[in-house]
Chains A and B, each alone.
Chain A
Amino acid sequence: MVAILGTLGFRANSLLPTLESTPGVDKVVVFCNDHPRALEALTDVQRVCSIMGIQIDRVAMPDAFDLLQAAKAMRQQVHHLKKDGHEIAVFNIAGGTKMMSAAALLVCAMEGLNSVYVHDETYREIPLPLLKVDYSQLLTTAQKEILTYIWTNRAKPMTQVDIALGMGKHKATINHHIQMLEGKNILHLVEDQSDRRRKVVRVDDALELMLEMD
C-alpha cells in the first residue's frame, strides 16, 4: 500500500504532478484549511483521484498559520499511515500556507520522508535533499530521559540540581548532559524570574515534536 501526502492551498496544480508521477499510489492524504478556495482546489483533487481510483482523505487544518500545530497533525497522520502498513512514497509540500509548507518539511526531516516541491509556474516537481535517517538515534538515551523529565515537569522552573534530585541522578551527570543539550540549542539556561541568582532550564513547546521521534 502506497500513500502520498500533500499540503494543499488554492491550486490543485501544486499537488497533481505528484499524483501523476508516483507509481502505485492507492491513498492520498491532503492537509488543507476551510478557506473556500482551498475547498475548491480540494474538489479538483478529489475529482482526479476518483478518475484514478485513488482513495483521498482530507485532514482539516484548523489553524493554517500555526507551525507547531500543523506539524503535530501531520506527524500524527504519518504515524497512522505507517501503523496501517502504508509506505509513504512522498510528501508534496508545495501547497497551503507558508507555515503548513514549513511544517511539512519539518515532518519530512524528522520522519525521513521523501519530499517534493512543485515549481509555481512550470509545475515541475523538484525533489528536496533530505536524507532517510533514523533521527531518533541522534539523542542518547540519557539525554532523552532528561528531556522527557524536563518536558513532563515544564510547569515549574527547575535548576540542574532540581533535575538531578528529581531524577535521582548525580548532579555532575545531569550538568554534563544539560551542557551538551544547551550546546545543541535544545534547551536554554535562563535566570529564574523569582530569584535571579538561580539559573533554570527552559525548553520550547516544539520540544514535544523531538521527543516523539521514537
Chain B
Amino acid sequence: MEGRKDLLVSTIGMEIGDIIAGIRSLPHDNLVLVTDAAMDENASTLAFLRRLGIRHEVLLVDPSDITGSALLIERKVQDHLDKGWRARVDITGGRKLLSDAAMLAALSTGSEICCFEMGARRFPLLTAMGVREALPKDLAEVLRSHEWPMLLGDIQGKGNDNPLPVMLRRLKQMDLVQLEERTVPMICLTKRGKACLDWMKRTKELSGSSE
C-alpha cells in the first residue's frame, strides 16, 4: 500500500480543537474541511490552521439539506478514490447534521470513519455500504427510468420474456418498492426507494453529463 495518497475529510464547526486530534494522528496528503458555516464565520479557525501551516480546502455544505450535504462530501471523496487515494472521514467536529452527512458519505464510499470525542475511535467500513456500490446497475436503471407508481395490472400483462417483473421482485426484496392497494393495486416506491432514487438523481446532477 506504500505510495498511496491519503485524503482526510474533517467536519468542523466553531471549535478548532475538535479536528486537531484527527489532523495530528491520521496521515493525510490532502485535508478537506467540511463546514456548514459561511467562511467569514470560521475565519479565525481557518487563519489558525494557516498559521500552523496546515494546508486545506474548505467544502461548504447546506445545513438544511442532509442528503445534498452528504452528496457533496461523497463526490469529493469519490473523486479521490477514483484516483487511487485512500480516504478517512473524521466526524468529530461540527454539528450533528454535518457529522451525519459525513457519515452517510463515508458509508456510501466505504471510507474509514474516525471520531475523537472519547479517545480515538476508528471504524473500518466495507465498500458496498452505499447506493453507488450496493445497488446493482440493472436495478438502478429500472428505478431511474420508470415512472412511479406503476399499475400492477400493467406488469401482470407482461410476457415471460420481459425482465421487468423479475427486476421488481428484486427491488421488493431490497425494500425499495412495495405493493399498495389504492383504487387499483399499484407498485410504489418505499421511503427507502424514494431516498435512493433521490440520491441517484442528485448524483447525476452533480456529475453533469459524465454519468
Contacts and interface: CB of A to CB of B under 8 A. Distances in A.
Interface of A: 63, 65-68, 90, 93, 97-99, 101-102, 105-106, 109, 114, 116-117, 119-121, 125-133, 135, 138-139, 182-187, 204-207, 209-210
Contacts of A106: 103, 107, 113, 123
Contact of A128 (B104, B110, B124, B174): B104
Given A129-B104, A129-B130, A133-B134, A204 B66 contact: no
Contact of B198 (A66, A129, A206): A129
A93 B100 CA distance: 9
> What's the interface size class on B, roughly?
35 or more
Contacts of B118: 63, 65-67, 99
Contacts of A68: 121, 123
Interface in B107-142: 107-108, 110-113, 115, 117-118, 121-131, 134-135
Interface string B163-174: 000000000011
Contacts of B1: 182-183
A29 B1 CA distance: 43
Contacts of A128: 66-67, 104, 195
Given A109-B129, A131-B131, A184 B198 contact: no
30 contacts: A65-B117, A102-B100, A105-B103, A109-B107, A116-B191, A120-B97, A125-B191, A126-B67, A127-B192, A128-B104, A129-B67, A129-B108, A129-B199, A130-B192, A131-B130, A131-B134, A131-B135, A131-B192, A133-B129, A133-B134, A135-B126, A135-B128, A138-B128, A139-B126, A184-B127, A185-B88, A185-B111, A204-B122, A205-B122, A206-B123
